[in-house]
Structure 1
Amino acid sequence: MELDSVINFLENRTILVTGGTGFLAKIFVEKILRVQPNVKKLYLLVRATDAKAALQRLHNEVIAKDLFRVLKEKLGANLNSFISGKVIPVAGDITCEKNLGVEDINLVEEMWREVDIVVNLAATTNFDERYDVSLGLNTLGAKHVMNFTKKCVKIKLLLHVSTAYVSGEREGLILENSYRLGETLNGASGLDIDKEKEVMEERLNELRAEEASEKTITRAMKDLGFERARLYGWPNTYVFTKAMAEMFLGHWKENLPLVILRPTIVTSTYKEPFPGWVEGVRTIDSLALGYGKGRITCFLGDLDSVVDAIPADMVVNSMIVAMAAYANQPSEIILQVGSSVANPVTFTCLQDCAFSYFTKNPWIGKDGKPVNVGKVKVLSTMASFHRYMTIHYLLPLKGLELVNAAFCQYFQGMYLELNRKINFVMRLIEIYRPYLFFKGIFDDMNTEKLRMAARESCVETDLFYFDPKIIDWEDYFMNTHIPGVVRHVFK
């Protein structure tokens, strides 16, 4: 594989980015604008009612973020004019089959004429999402993006960002292989994307015919997503709908150059535009912060399990280099971007880093006092977890139920609140259990070939770094990631 200058490749490019206000999309846009100001145009598809609302979302949810401070320092008073000349917010919705929901036909035809590359970053990453929402965004949305891309006369590549966890609960080395249409993880037959849409719509119509409340519909659609995912071997709705998207794209792409990029757990920026920028709460972050606040005193999982993490700027750099490497190649390339092969990190490291950080930098509680943290109790099996829950929560709940009945429902509020908390914890464990005991290692041979091609061609590797071997995990978590989460997410 020969690779020319990535900076030169980006010059005069016109790129359409879906999910334009999302975490990775912001970092992608900032990086392009900062390293190649001569990019021709970036169309950002955002959910909005009209062009004015789309522009407002661009400024409030993208440009106004601290992420853009380096670019602001670089351009000063010229920032707004530079942005308005390069970035075009587009009101649309990838769940809409016709033109991605873009109503301005002149703008649609302009994009069909000018767009070189489409980057699909629009998705819901909620494991516990409603099936109608997840299927509409993650699966059917990807289909609509591909159909739109095929109409772009200058198209050189569709880059679709998926997730490494489409692998489900596989163990051992997980290869960068594609999924065939209808393939399942447990060997079950009958997976059909059109049928899944019918099943979803039929259940939704039933609920509406019954005049079910929105809360009832939400719970039923969430349950349906889990039911359909597990029927075919996937642990949750998110990874199931992302896997179906990959199947559809691979089967129907025809001669369209396609890269499917599968990042693992995406964490805060390693280096650019500055270390530690993050937005939203990732699973490992909620655990770390819950611990720092003194709310987590026990942990369920295998402390020796590998946590496959990768900083967000490395994901974005791999995306950009992949664009330059695979443009105009009518093939499907799978790139798994993670660290479990080259530089694995374990739950033990995360636990030790969280303990060290919050011991040196204690969380200040609502009472103004520092929260003292200690070593957590580790429950290494589901059986030990159920015993712990039974002794500490379920038996007291049963006792409270009896007392409540004896005192004519006097303790009803307390009972309902404790029951709610227990159900919430059990639901979280149901959702995240596969990842607390995950035994898979993500092969990244294709991604390593891309890194090697960049090194051998001397292609700006200092600017487009994405080699996890350079990460000192202890230093990164202690001095970059956890402080970044505290600063940018929890303020």
Structure 2
Amino acid sequence: MLGTQQLVQLCHRMLGLEALVHVSTAYCNCERERVEETVYAPPAHPEHVVTLVQTLPDELVDRITPDLVGDRPNTYTFTKALAEDMLIKECGNLPVAIVRPSIVLSSVREPVKGWVDNWNGPNGIIAAVGKGVFRTMLGTGKRVADLVPVDTVINLMIVCAWRTHLRRGEGVVVYNCCTGQQNPITWQSFVRTSFKYMRKHPFSEVVWYPGGDITSNRLKHNTLSLLQHRAPAFIMDLAARSTGNKPVMVRVQNKLAKAAACLEYFTTRQWAFADDNVQALCAALSVEDRRIFDFNVRNIDWDAYIESYVLGIRRFLFKESPETLPKSRALMRRLHIVHILTQVATVFFLWRFLFAPSNALRSIWRRILEFITRAIRLLAIA
């Protein structure tokens, strides 16, 4: 927020300033279900917050931060809202535009397909899922996952800088750079498509066959997290200690749990981000400019994009060469067999120790099997 204020002050001293493009976030007004392309009243007075932070001891600031942030998921969305308000108040007659991207992922085309350079947001979670160490996430599968490629955002920033220069003096224009209105994809579809390509293009040294699901049931999620995340991590660390190796899996799971908790607010909710200004800007371009500076999210083929996203994580985050794919695929086939055998063994265990001793449970089990058999026969006839 202070950085934004200082930059605006610097811009006021620039004689040849063409445009100032401020990058915010679509979630700076996350308390609203529908977010228009306008700057809303801030959750607190920016100057008062700055004064508090500068005068109070750090311990006291940490203590009052939850009260300041309120129902927002983090300080990031809070300070972004304050920065927008401060920008509006102090920009004067500067040529200013605000771009609000949603959840930014890898590139769709430039500089190369799938380019990604950080572990933030879903990137770290998807990487862990691909390695087989993360299998359950709290979220509502039918909710729209508002994801946007990084080069789509950059192209919009370039074009809106041009447009802002041409419209100098017409006020601050806000652009919501999102996909949910024009080309939506649900969290469930995103996760399942990711699974498909994690198995097709597996990472190296995968621990277990990638799988799992996103669930809105917190009890189910916590139970699966205990059984599929924490318990295996504890066992693996125990084995590591017994062989003289450094235990790391419990620490890894703790970090993943924190990262997943940060995403829960966004995977359990849905927003409608208006994008009229973005659509109008796209319509104002020539055919050639629309091709060069493509920020039309309708052009995103989600299946192809997610495939390049998984390959991008493999190449740019894990630094794994394409030459390692045959070996990784061979390991994935073995892990798939082990995964199936484990499921069969689990069913046998349930039968042997839970159903077999009880006549009533045995009867229920037989009825379930008979129902499944009849259903399969009916499907075969159809």
TM-score (norm 1): 0.56
2:104 match = 266
2:7 match = 145
CA distance in 2, matches of 1:270, 1:141: 30
Q: Which amino acid aligns with 1:442?
A: F
Report whether the alignment pairs 1:382 with 2:218: yes
Report whether the alignment pairs 1:469 with 2:298: yes
The structure that is helix-richer by fraction is: 2
Alignment of 1:1-400 (within 5 A): 139-171=1-33, 173-180=34-41, 183-184=42-43, 191-204=44-57, 207=59, 225-230=65-70, 233-327=71-165, 329-330=168-169, 331-365=171-205, 370-386=206-222
CA distance in 2, matches of 1:311, 1:287: 17
Q: CA deviation at 1:332?
A: 0.6
* Inter-CA distance 311–426: structure 2 relative to 1 (3 Å threshold): closer
* Inter-CA distance 222–454: structure 2 relative to 1 (3 Å threshold): farther
Q: CA deviation at 1:164?
A: 0.8
CA distance in 1, matches of 2:250, 2:61: 22
> Paired residue for 2:268, among 424, 437, 459?
437
Maintained 8 Å contact 1:301/1:436: yes
CA distance in 2, matches of 1:383, 1:198: 42
Partner SS for 1:462: helix
Report whether the alignment pairs 1:481 with 2:309: yes
Q: Which amino acid aligns with 2:180?
A: S
Deviations 1:67-111, CA, capped at 9 Å, x for gaps: xxxxxxxxxxxxxxxxxxxxxxxxxxxxxxxxxxxxxxxxxxxxx
CA distance in 2, matches of 1:385, 1:435: 16
CA distance in 1, matches of 2:304, 2:261: 32
Q: CA deviation at 1:360?
A: 1.8
Runs of 5+ in structure 2 lacking a partner?
232-247, 320-382
Q: Which amino acid aligns with 2:187?
A: F
Maintained 8 Å contact 2:37/2:176: yes
CA distance in 1, matches of 2:277, 2:78: 23
Partner SS for 1:460: helix
Partner SS for 2:269: coil
Maintained 8 Å contact 1:169/1:235: no
Partner SS for 2:289: coil
> Paired residue for 1:453, among 274, 280, 284?
284
Deviations 1:365-396, CA, capped at 9 Å, x for gaps: 2xxxx54424304431335445656788999x
CA distance in 2, matches of 1:169, 1:363: 38
Partner SS for 1:363: coil
CA distance in 2, matches of 1:144, 1:452: 34
CA distance in 1, matches of 2:214, 2:177: 30
* Greater RCO (Cα-Cα under 8 Å, separation 6 or more): 2
The sequence identity of aligned pairs, in percent, is: 26
Deviations 1:377-421, CA, capped at 9 Å, x for gaps: 4431335445656788999xxxxxxxxxxxxxxxxxxxxx99977
CA distance in 1, matches of 2:226, 2:318: 32
CA distance in 1, matches of 2:252, 2:296: 41
* Inter-CA distance 418–156: structure 2 relative to 1 (3 Å threshold): closer
Runs of 5+ in structure 1 lacking a partner?
1-138, 185-190, 208-219, 396-416
Report the count of equivalent residues: 303
